[in-house]
């Protein structure tokens, strides 16, 4: 992944995007320069043409103004196109990073923060694709306009500077007064929607038990509270918008008053007064635009802050080189695991080695840490202490692209992605069909897949209509795809009949014969005794006992 300019989170433009951003800045300067021709030409017309009554000069100035206007329009179009392309590239990049981080964060139990990632990405992309970037670049016009106003008269400069500061303060006040309320309303809306969707996802239970009215009744008060808080924020924003309009009117009155006073004192010409009125508007207009779009940049910046925190929190651990003198197979060294927010360890100081071809059954009641241990073995959980090595490679600190092909995993729920059976078995890696068929034969799933309407090309996603047993066979084939060095199976017998269970046992035996380490989670360890496997029994409170293979 390409490096970022200044942020470890990678949410800022990459070095490849920096030239485009620089071109946008230069185009903005050129646009401001063309727009400055309007007050300058106005001054020349009133101070020169009207006194000399030279129509030829008027035609030349008009042509120059028209040319500057057309050039400014072309430059603004080019800048808008570049900003849109830059926003799209940044949006795609940060969406991928945020999704990757959200998956890692969700593994740690923080599903609420992970679930909001896509919404934050959409909010930030809306800001980047809107008028806010152009408004920010237009702030470059302020020093240019203030410089010309100083040349006309320092009083004009003072009026414009005070007006810009007051209007900017109103914008900051709007952000400060509404950001907390808007964030709270957005959070409440997300929670209420998520709660309702979770309940409606269990539609058979909700409808079958007559719980729909209760579900809607629980959703309505939370949603009403969120709407109430958003309404409070919007009322405050409307009040501040009225203050902004008042500040604009006051600015116009102040510049006219200052111009008349200077004109009566014979310190400026009429053309200078008209030019100053235009330049003051030119200096404060970007601030007015930013304040007018306070919601876009306020919510966009808040979303960016949450995404930065999410990406940093969900960043993968630093890579570590392979241990040169490590023993082959699976080695667990001093592994200590703790539950999210817990104080007592789930597993305390676990030391274990499984040589190539070794097998182990994890046993114990629910809640003692079997799932946490599985995640640690796969390199998906950060332990409080210790490490897990697979053929000398730290499963946590080895890049997933290098580790994934060496690991096979069957989760407790046979989750399949949208795609064909062939795609799911091959892990969407573009491998050959022969490898996928070989994996299916290995676990005894080939005949069951052949009975599907479209065989290996049959859809296998969540809505594909596969039975629980069919989905589990596909997931088993996915776990044994390729030549994994570690296979972890979480209750592989669940949902399978006798023939399918025999196929799993045969696949485990064949994999071990090829030097693969197999770790199984089972509530019936005795069922695997005939395969010469050890049993690691988790007893709760961090305690564990190892029963050697019989």
What is the rounded distance in angstroms from the CA atom of residue 95 to the CA atom of residue 116? 12
pLDDT tier, 212 (very low <50, low <70, confident <90, very high otherwise): low
User: In the CATH scheme, what is the homologous superfamily, with its name and number, of domain 330-547?
Assistant: P-loop containing nucleotide triphosphate hydrolases (3.40.50.300)
Q: Which residues pair with 489 in a beta bridge?
A: 410, 520
Supply the pLDDT for residue 220. Answer: 66
The dihedral through the CA atoms of 437, 440, 442, 446 has a sign that is negative
The rounded mean pLDDT for the chain is 78
List, for residues 162-185, the tens digit of each pLDDT value.
888 888 787 777 666 666 666 666
List, for residues 31-50, the tens digit of each pLDDT value.
877 777 777 777 766 656 55
Residue 222 or 29, more confident: 29
Supply the pLDDT for residue 32. Answer: 77
Map out the domains of the chain as residue ranges: 18-313, 330-547
Token digits of residue 219:
């959703």
Instruction: Spell out the CATH class of 18-313.
Output: mainly alpha
Neighbour-count burial for 243-277, b at 16+ CB within 10 Å, e otherwise: bbeebbeebeebbeebbeebeeeeebbebbbbbbb
Supply the pLDDT for residue 6. Answer: 35
Supply the pLDDT for residue 269. Answer: 79
List, for residues 326-365, the tens digit of each pLDDT value.
888 999 998 998 877 667 788 889 999 999 999 999 988 8
Token digits of residue 23:
């071109």
Please determine, for residue 7, whether its predicted confidence score (pLDDT) is greater than 60.
no
Contact 467, 414 (CB under 8 A): no
List, for residues 497-523, the tens digit of each pLDDT value.
878 888 888 888 999 999 999 999 887
Average pLDDT over residues 369-374: 87
What is the rounded distance in angstroms from the CA atom of residue 351 to the CA atom of residue 334? 5
- Alpha-carbon separation of residue 332 from 100, 207, 280, 395, 546 (angstroms): 27, 48, 71, 10, 13
Supply the pLDDT for residue 267. Answer: 86
Pairing of strands 407-410, 345-354: unpaired
Find how far residue 529's CA is from the centre of its chain.
46
- At residue 386, the 3 state secondary structure works out as strand
């Amino acid at each position: 992944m390409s490096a970022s300019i200044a942020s470890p989170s990678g949410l800022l433009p990459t070095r490849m995007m920096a030239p485009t951003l620089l071109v946008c800045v230069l185009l903005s300067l050129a646009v401001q320069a063309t727009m400055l021709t309007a007050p300058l030409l106005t001054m020349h017309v009133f101070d020169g043409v009207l006194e000399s009554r030279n129509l030829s000069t008027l035609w030349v100035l008009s042509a120059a103004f028209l040319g500057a206007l057309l050039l400014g329009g072309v430059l603004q179009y080019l800048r808008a196109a570049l900003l849109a392309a830059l926003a799209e590239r940044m949006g795609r990049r940060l969406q991928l990073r945020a999704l990757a981080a959200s998956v890692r964060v969700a593994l740690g139990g923080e599903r609420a923060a992970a679930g909001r990632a896509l919404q934050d990405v959409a909010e930030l992309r809306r800001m980047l694709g809107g008028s806010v970037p152009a408004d920010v670049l237009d702030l470059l016009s302020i020093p240019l306009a203030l410089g010309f106003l100083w040349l006309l008269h320092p009083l004009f400069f003072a009026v414009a500077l005070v007006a810009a500061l007051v209007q900017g303060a109103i914008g900051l006040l709007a952000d400060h007064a509404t950001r907390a309320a808007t964030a709270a309303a957005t959070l409440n809306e997300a929670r209420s929607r998520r709660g309702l969707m979770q309940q409606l996802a269990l539609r058979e239970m909700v409808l079958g038990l007559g719980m729909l009215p209760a579900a809607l009744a629980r959703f309505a008060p939370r949603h009403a509270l969120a709407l109430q808080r958003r309404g409070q924020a919007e009322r405050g924003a409307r009040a501040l918008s009225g203050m902004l309009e008042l500040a604009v009117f006051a600015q116009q009155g102040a510049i006219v008053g200052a111009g008349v006073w200077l004109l009566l004192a014979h310190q400026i010409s009429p053309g200078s007064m008209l030019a100053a009125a235009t330049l003051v508007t030119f200096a404060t207009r970007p601030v007015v635009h930013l304040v007018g779009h306070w919601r876009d940049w306020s919510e966009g910046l808040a979303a960016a802050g949450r995404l930065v925190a999410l990406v940093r929190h969900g960043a993968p651990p630093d890579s570590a080189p392979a241990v040169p003198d490590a023993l082959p197979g699976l080695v667990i060294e001093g592994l200590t695991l703790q539950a999210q927010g817990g104080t007592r360890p789930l597993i305390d100081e676990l030391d274990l080695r499984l040589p190539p071809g070794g097998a182990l059954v994890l046993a114990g009641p629910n809640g003692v840490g079997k799932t946490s241990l599985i995640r640690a073995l796969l390199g998906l959980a950060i332990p409080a202490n210790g490490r897990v090595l697979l053929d000398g490679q730290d499963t946590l600190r080895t890049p997933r692209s290098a580790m994934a092909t060496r690991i096979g995993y069957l989760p407790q729920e046979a989750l399949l992605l949208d795609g064909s059976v062939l795609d799911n078995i091959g892990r969407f890696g573009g491998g050959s069909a022969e490898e996928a068929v070989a994996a299916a034969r290995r676990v005894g799933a080939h005949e069951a897949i052949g009975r599907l309407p479209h065989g290996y090309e049959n859809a296998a996603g969540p809505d594909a209509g596969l039975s629980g047993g069919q989905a589990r066979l596909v997931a088993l084939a996915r776990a044994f795809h390729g030549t994994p060095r570690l296979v972890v199976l979480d209750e592989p017998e669940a949902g399978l009949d006798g023939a399918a269970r025999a196929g799993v046992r045969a696949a485990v035996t064949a994999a071990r014969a090829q030097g693969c380490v197999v770790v199984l989670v089972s509530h019936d360890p005795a069922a695997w005794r005939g395969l010469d496997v050890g049993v690691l029994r988790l007893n709760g409170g961090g305690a564990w006992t190892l029963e050697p293979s019989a």
